[in-house]
Structure 1
Amino acid sequence: MIVIIGGSFAGVQAALELRRLNKQQKIVIYEKETYLGYVPNGLNEFLKGKINSLEEAILYDVAELKSKQIDVHLGSECTFVDPAAKELTIVKAGQAELVSYDQLIVAAGSIQRPLALEQGTNLVYQTKTLADAQQTLDKLQGDVSSVAVLGGGIIGIELASALRQFKPELQITILEKFDRLLELAVDEVISSAITEKLQESNIQLHTGIDFESIHEDAQSACIRTNEGSFKTDMIIKAPNLEPNHQILEDAITLDIDGSSIVNRNFQAEDSIYVLGDLLRLTLMPIKEKFYMPLINNSVRTALVAADHISGKKELTFESTKTNVFAAFGMTVVRSGAQKRNERFTSYHINKCNGVYSLPGKDSPQVYVVIFVREDNHQILGIQAASEADISPFANLFSLVIRGKLTVEELATHDFFFHAAYPSKETHCLNEIALDYLYNEEKR
């Protein structure tokens, strides 16, 4: 029997792939929540009016899985793993039972890192789970005139943008510990473009913030920092995530950050596989491991593990860290490494950026940044931002990175052009590659 702990994206995808590869294998999922696969930005989608209830952000249907002979147990939490006995302790409705397994897949996901200063407070909210999102929404729908968002990364700016759409009159403040918005996520060229849009939306941004304490009364909270105090009706924390590794602490070897140590098949022990947000993954262009809690990464690790468990042993996965996010009327696409990753390499990473036009009405502009290995001109990363919807660029960027194209190859790559369709004689990637080569001559 294959037992899967966690019914989010990695766990469900592993079950589906295992069933596709083996019609007879017994597969069981234990999920502590009462649903499968809640998309973590569901609250944002509701605030923007794209869904009518938070429940619409639940991706998987239990009945459909059961129709594929995948046994699903909701409200069932794993509290202990015994690798020697190949047993689990599962608690449901206060009752504990032992469950045996032949192969175990742990896909328990990630959690929002707790902040020491929030202990004992009642006005600090978060958004990751359905219960978190519902509690936050209930508060927002009440008498709230100001919100402080703790964190100016992707989670924070997407949330602030959605809040502005939900309540245009809301006073919104973003407090970020780094010196600029999105410092870990994107290059400063794109960060600056987003910051400008944010300020146009009348959102207050404070960077270089060290949080000291939170003091609150019945209706409001005061956040004390190195840059002074900020009074607000509500605080929503949006810091980075960390592995939800508690049940694995006594079962397998963990890295210093709580991520699981696994082989290339995501196998931690002979009969234990660990997936998704519990891992640090190799960033393909530079062969260095990073914590990258992305749904697409979770799904791909599940495919590899299922392939290996089923005896195929054909699939491998290294991430290009490809994703898309949108805030304040701009869509941002990124894939691969960036300049800040240079400290993990033995070579220099050069950067080239520019503003180009896209095909279509009024020729919308797009900010593009490429990151290039100096010695052999391999393109290691691409980022772009535009007021146009450039989300389809994500797969293109990923293929450029995974294909290890050089700047010379990209400069003359034959992107499609036809006058009857939205296209240009040269693609913006042709243009930035040519700019890189021209600028290199001047370096």
Structure 2
Amino acid sequence: MFMHIVIVGGSFAGVTAAIRTRQNFKDAQITLLEKQAQIGFIPGALHAILNKQIKRLEEAYFISKEELQEYGITVILNAEVQSLDSNQQQVTYQKTNQSKKINYDKLIIATGSVQSSYRIKGIQSHKIITYKSVEETKTALALVAQNHRFTILGGGQVGVEMADSLIRNKKKVQLVESMNGILVKYFDQEMLQPLIKEMKSRGVHFYFNETVREIEEIDERLLFKTQNSEITSDCAVFALSVKPQIAYLDDQIRLHEDGAIYVDRYLKTSVENIFAIGDAIQTPSSLSDESFYISLANNAVRTGIVVADNLLKPQTKFIGTARTIGTKVFGYYIASTGMTETESIFFDEKVASIHMTQPASLFNKQATISGKLIYSVETGQVRGAQLISQTNILEKINTLSLGIQMGITITELAQKDYFFHSAWSPIYDVTNHLGLMKG
């Protein structure tokens, strides 16, 4: 069947959708529109350069236009979408100062998110770092080189990773967070006390329970006004929650209150022949019937895979997200999946938790792994897990995430098969050990 499939956006979600769509529809015409001069830029490139994982921004791409064209996909760069007419099934975009139109049979919206906040007066200052695009990242690298004291707005994963990168580069860091801790979406705070202690010892100054309301630029310095403090620095990093980049949509497409596009479990919008994926949508939860807005590359890729199966008819449900993350900061590997104990009060089931610490391997008693498991009292099903160690335990969170998605119980987790080698593992794998800890 011949049809024209248009994909708007050339990052993780859009590129994945394009490749998967070609695999499913050999004869379709597939066109990808991207507003940047290249596709496939990795937004975390700023961290990678500051941490010396890569040397140049040219290395910070996961795919090229030429590679995508090898799949028989038409790629139009420097094409910024201006409007959508869902009645005419037509997209209008701007390229080289000319307005152009393209018609579609199926449209996949994958325009991602943008770093912005309308709530903070003065947030548009040129001394506030954002880095979603390559141009923003170039500017950010210059600002890091030119300045010494930084204020990070937000204590989520982006904020904590940026604190680590700046401290590595011998900068002064202060972090402002509206909640009483860091990474509060993913961790119960008792799990992160070793990390917070290390961050403080390395010079990070925290302002918890503080919300920046206004930013002033005074004599080449920034003044941040919160409800309790006035904080000064040379420069700042925007690490608050992002929001969908979908200003071009027409008013027929249903949105959530937070501005994300409403989709069903097959990633179809409220308008026929239009689908949305990645950071443009709220993501269904693996733990409940709720959905929420969360910007994670793994969700973008998985929605890009699923949407291609549903273009003609709904056949593959998106199973949702357990909000699985993992990173290394300040010498600690930290990982989380599923619900936290703190947020369990918002769910209808009663949960209990398990804590344990064990050696990282049979012959290495000095390095330890600390874990926490949250499970349903009624069913015994695993609902969440958190790990922290100075040994690399990041891949173990994938096992626990899969267990949550498959409905594994703590009894079954205790019997999960695992490899044992005296040089590399303890007698019980930490994921099994958590299942054994129930009293």
Q: Fold match, TM over 0.5? A: yes
Q: Which of 71, 74, 84 is residue 74 of structure 2 equivalent to?
A: 71
Q: In the alignment, what sits opposite 1:252?
A: 253
Deviates more, 1:308-317 or 1:264-273: 308-317
Asked if residue 24 in structure 1 is aligned to residue 7 in structure 2, the reply is no
Query: Hey, what's the Cα distance between the residues in 2 that align with 1:7 and 1:221?
Result: 34
* 1:344-383 alignment runs, 5 A limit: 344-359=346-361, 362-363=364-365, 364-383=367-386
Aligned match for 2:137, one of 122, 129, 133: 133
| Alpha-carbon distance in structure 1 between the residues aligned to 2:83 and 2:213 | 36
Structure 2 residue runs of 5 or longer lacking an equivalent are none
Question: Which piece of structure 1 moves more, 352-361 or 386-395?
Answer: 352-361
Q: State the Cα distance separating 1:151 from its structure 2 match.
A: 0.9
| Kept after mapping to 2: 8 A contact 1:18/1:310 | no
Q: Which amino acid aligns with 1:430?
A: N
Matched residue, 1:407:
410
Check conservation: 1:117, 1:213, Cα contact below 8 A.
Answer: yes
| Residues 143-173 of structure 1: CA deviation (Å, up to 9, x unaligned) | x1211111111110000101111x22x2111
Work out which of the residue numbers 386, 396, 399 in structure 1 matches 2:399. 396
Q: Counterpart in 2 of 1:280?
A: 282
Q: What per-residue deviation string (whole Å, max 9, x for no partner) do you get for residues 271-327 of structure 1?
A: 100001111122112332121211111111111110112558245332222221221
Tell me if 1:322 matches 2:324.
yes
Q: Paired residue for 2:310?
A: 308
Whole-angstrom distance in 2 between the partners of 1:200 and 1:228: 22
Contact 1:286–1:337, Cα closer than 8 Å, also in 2: no
- What secondary structure sits across from 1:247 in the alignment? coil
Residue pair 1:300, 1:317 contacting (<8 A) in 2 also:
no
Deviation of 1:15 after TM superposition, in Å, equals 0.6
Q: Secondary structure at the match of 1:261?
A: coil
1:65 and 1:312 map into 2 onto residues whose CA distance is 26
The separation in 2 between residues aligned to 1:21 and 1:408, in whole angstroms, is 40
Summarize the alignment of residues 108-147 of structure 1 with structure 2, pairs less than 5 Å apart.
Answer: 108-114=111-117, 115-119=119-123, 121-142=125-146, 144-147=147-150
Residue number in structure 1 paired with 2:94: 91
Give me the whole-angstrom Cα distance separating, in 2, the residues matched to 1:247 and 1:350. 45
Could you tell me how far 1:252 is from its partner in structure 2?
Answer: 0.5
* Deviation for aligned residue 1:411: 2.4
Q: Secondary structure at 1:132's aligned position in 2? A: helix
Preserved CA contact (<8 Å) 2:86 2:250: no
Q: CA RMSD in A?
A: 1.8
- Counterpart Cα distance in 1 of 2:264 and 2:433: 40
C-alpha separation in 2, matches of 1:79 and 1:150: 31
Q: Is the contact between residue 118 and residue 124 of structure 1 (CA under 8 Å) also seen in structure 2?
A: no
Q: Distance in 1 between the 2:194 and 2:233 partners?
A: 27
TM score, norm. by length of structure 1: 0.93
- Residue number in structure 2 paired with 1:266: 267
384 and 102 in structure 1: CA distance in 2 versus 1, 3 angstrom threshold: same
Contact 2:176 2:211 (8 Å CA) reproduced: no
- Aligned-pair CA distance for 1:343: 3.5
Q: How many residues align?
A: 433
Task: Kindly state the Cα deviation for residue 232 of structure 1 after the two structures are TM-superposed.
Answer: 0.8
1:441 maps to what in 2? none
Unaligned runs of 5+ in 1: 439-443
Specify the code of the residue in structure 1 equivalent to 2:72.
Q
Cα separation, partners in 2 of 1:66 and 1:361, compared to 1, 3 Å: farther
| Secondary structure at 2:216 match in 1 | strand
Return the alpha-carbon distance in structure 1 between the equivalents of residues 340 and 321 of structure 2.
Answer: 14
Residue in structure 2 matched with residue 46 of structure 1 by the alignment: 49
1:59 is matched with which residue? 62
The alignment partner of 2:435 has SS state of helix
Structure 1 stretch displaced more, 106-115 or 62-71: 106-115
**Is the 1:357–1:428 Cα contact (8 Å) retained in structure 2?**
no
Amino acid across the alignment from 2:186 = A
* CA shift in 2, pair 1:315/1:182, >3 Å: closer
> TM-score when scaled to structure 2?
0.94
1:343-376 per-position Cα deviation (integer Å, ceiling 9, x unaligned):
4422112222222221276342112111111111
Cα distance in 2 for partners of 1:195, 1:367 equals: 15
Query: Is the Cα–Cα contact under 8 Å of residues 284 and 321 in structure 2 kept in the other structure?
Result: yes
Tell me which moved more, 190-199 or 294-303. 190-199
Contact in 1 for aligned 2:327/2:334 (Cα 8 Å): yes
Structure 2 residue 411 is matched with structure 1 residue 416: no
The match for 1:160 among 160, 163, 186 is: 163
The 1:249/1:329 distance shift into structure 2, 3 A limit, reads farther
